[in-house]
Amino acid sequence: MTARQFATRMNRRQALGLIAVTATGGAFVTPAARAAVGSPFGNASLLMPGAGVCTITPEVTEGPFYFDPELERQDITEGRQGVPLTVRLQAVDNQCRPLVKARVDIWHCDAKGIYSGYPRQGDGRDIDTSGEKFLRGIQHTDEQGIVSFQTIYPGWYRGRTTHIHFKVFPDANTAMTGQLFFPDDLSEHLFTTVAPYTDRPEKRDMFNAQDGIARQAGPMSQAALRETKAAYEALLVVAVKADT
C-alpha cells in the first residue's frame, strides 16, 4: 500500500496536520516553529528544508536491540510489509557544517513490533528472529551530510512509543546515539486502519508524552514528515558535538 492509497481515507490537510499533535494532547513543535523561536541557531539556513535546525541533538539510550548488520544499503525492508517510509537524516557538527562520509546506522521494529536478530519477542515473547537483519542498515553521508533509507513506518512494542534508532559516527572514535519519534495521531491512525499494523489484537500502551526516552530526547528528535508520491518521508537534522 502506498502513502497515497492510505491517505485517501483522510483529507490531505488532516493527514499532514497530524504531524505536530500527539494523541494524548501533548504537542511536539514542528521544525518550522523551532526555527522561528528560541534556538541559538534560529537564524541559520536549514541545510535540509523542513528537517530542523542545528541545535545539538540529545543523546539517548541505544536500547537492547542494536547490532552491526554489516550491510551498507539504502533499502532495509527485506520484504517486511508496512506503509512505505523514506528516512532522511542530515548529520552536521556543532557549527552546522555537514559531516561528510560519516557512518550512520538505523534500526527499528517492524509493523508488529518485532526487531531482527533477537529471541523472546512479540506479545507472547515467543518470536525468535536470531540471524535475521531486516530493518537495519548503514550508510555513509554525502557532501551535504545526508543519508536516505527506504523502509516502512515502524510499529510499536510494549512500554515504548513509536520510534527509529540511529547512530552517527563522525569518525572511528566517536559515536552519537539517538532516536527519532513520530506524531502520535498519525501513528494511531495507521495502527488502527492499515494492515499489517491492524493484525494484532493488543493495543499500544505508550505514547510520546508518557515515554521517558521520548521526553528525554525532546522536540528536536521529532521527525518532520511530508508526503511524497510513493511514501511518507521523515526528515531530521542530527547535530553532533564533533571535534573541530
pLDDT of residue 117: 97
Count of Cβ atoms closer than 10 Å to residue 196 Cβ = 16
pLDDT tens for 183-213 read 999 999 999 999 999 998 888 999 999 999 9
pTM: 0.82
Position 153 in a domain: yes
Flag whether pLDDT at 11 surpasses 50.
no
H/E segment holding residue 164: strand 163-171
pLDDT tens for 81-93 read 999 999 999 999 8
Domain of residue 115, CATH code: 2.60.130.10
Q: Which three cell numbers stand for residue 161?
A: 512509543
Confidence bin at 110 (pLDDT 50/70/90):
very high
Domain count, the chain: 1
Round the CA-based radius of gyration of the chain to a whole number and report it: 17
The amino acid sitting at 85 is: L
Position 244 in a domain: no
Residue-number span of the structural domain to which 93 is assigned: 3-239
In the block, residue with C-alpha cell 526487531: 115
Position 180 in a domain: yes
